[in-house]
Amino acid sequence: MQVIIDKGIPFLDGVFGSDIEVRHLPPEEITNKAVRNADALVVRTRTRIDKNLLAGSKVRFVATATIGFDHIDQAYCREAGVEWMSCPGCNAKAVCDYVEEVLNTLKSGESGKTLGVIGYGHVGKLVAEMAKRKGYEVLVSDPPLGIGQSLAEIAPLCDVLTFHTPLTHEGEHATYHMCNADILRRCKPNALLINAARGGVIDEKALLEHMKQMPEMQVVLDCWEGEPMLNRELLEKVNLASFHIAGYSIQGKMRASEMCLEGFCAFFSLPILSINKKAVPLQGDSESGWLQRISDQLKKAPADFEQLRKQYKLR
C-alpha cells in the first residue's frame, strides 16, 4: 500500500508500519503522475481533488487535514468510488483565538457593542462564546441551520461582522460572494469586517470600492480570492492582513493529523495508529502582537504569501 502525504502536514512522520510506503511531497508535486500508484492521499487545501488529479490512479481514500473541503470535487469522488473526509472542528479554537486577537489589536472589545457571527458551526459557536465574555451582544446568522436572521438583516445592527462559513457555489444558501456590494452598503460606516473563512465569501472588488467610499470601515482578511495572488490595492487598505493562517495552531494541526490517521485506519481496517508528537516542536508563536507582526510581513512582501504561509511558526 502507498500513501502520499502533503509534507506540510505535521505529526505523521514514522507512524506507518513497514508494510505501507509513505511519500511526503510538497503540494505542487502531488500530481496525476505522482498519485498513479497511491492508495490514499492526505492533503491540504492547496491540492485540488478532482478528475485531473485522480483519473487512472488507484486512490480509494482521501483525507484533507482541514475544516474546509471546497477543494474536493465531491461529485467526481462519488462517481469514482473515492471516499473522502475532512476534519471539522480541528482548528476551531485557533480561529477563535485569531478573531479575539483582532478585537484586542484594533481595540474593538468594548462592552455594549454588537458582534455578528456569520456561520454557527464549530468555529462560530466558540467565537460567539468568546465575544459574550468580552461584553458583546452577539447576533448569529446561519440560514442553512435555521439559526438567527439573514446576513442582510443583521449587517446594519453590527459593529463587528465575522465570517465562519464554508465556501459553496450552489443552492439556496450559497456562500460565494455572500458579502457583496449590497451587504456592504447595509453595514455601519465604521463597522469591523473579519474574514477567517474562505476568500470567496467576500466580493473583494466590491469591498475595495466600498472602502474607498467608506475609509472608516475596518477590515481584517486572513483569506483571499485567488490565493496566493493577492489584490495589492486591497492589501494596502485593510487594517490587518494574514496569509490564511487563522486556523494554524499546534493543537489544531495535531488534532487534524489525528483525525486523518483515524479515518485512514478505519477505511483500510487497520489497527489504530498514533501520531508522532515529537515530529515538530510543541512550542509556537505566542508573543504579544503576533497578528500585527505577520500583517506587517505580508504587506511588505505580498509576493511571498505562499512562502510566509509555509514558514509560519504555529501558535
pLDDT in tens, 61-98: 999 999 889 899 999 999 999 999 999 989 899 999 99
In the structure, what pLDDT confidence band is assigned to residue 110 with cuts at 50, 70 and 90? low
Least confident of 53-62, 157-166, 250-259: 250-259
Q: Do the domains 2-90+250-267 and 93-246+287-311 sit in the same CATH topology, yes or no?
A: yes
What value does the mean pLDDT take over residues 189-203?
Answer: 96
Active site residue: 244, 255, 309, 315, which one?
244
Answer whether residue 298 shows pLDDT above 80. Answer: yes
Active site residue: 83, 227, 262, 306, which one?
227
Catalytic residue status for 309: no
What value does the mean pLDDT take over residues 224-240?
Answer: 96
User: Residue 314: what pLDDT?
Assistant: 74
Run of H or E residues at 163: strand 160-163
Pull the grid cell for residue 157. 445592527
Catalytic residue status for 198: yes
User: Residue 252: what pLDDT?
Assistant: 87
User: Residue 101: what pLDDT?
Assistant: 94
In the structure, what pLDDT confidence band is assigned to residue 315 with cuts at 50, 70 and 90? confident
User: Residue 125: what pLDDT?
Assistant: 96
What value does the mean pLDDT take over residues 226-240?
Answer: 96
Q: In whole angstroms, what is the distance from residue 173 CA to residue 158 CA?
A: 21
User: Residue 108: what pLDDT?
Assistant: 62
What CATH number does domain 2-90+250-267 carry, 2.60.120.10, 3.40.50.720, 3.30.450.20, 3.40.50.300?
A: 3.40.50.720
Active site residue: 46, 164, 177, 198, which one?
198
In the structure, what pLDDT confidence band is assigned to residue 216 with cuts at 50, 70 and 90? very high
| pTM score over 0.85 | no
Q: In whole angstroms, what is the distance from residue 204 CA to residue 177 CA?
A: 8
Domain boundaries, the chain: 2-90+250-267, 93-246+287-311
Catalytic residue status for 227: yes
DSSP H helical ranges for 106-224? 122-133, 151-154, 181-186, 204-213
> In the chain, what percentage of residues exceed pLDDT 70?
96
Its CATH architecture, for the domain 93-246+287-311, is 3-Layer(aba) Sandwich (3.40)
Strands (E), 31-75: 40-43, 61-64
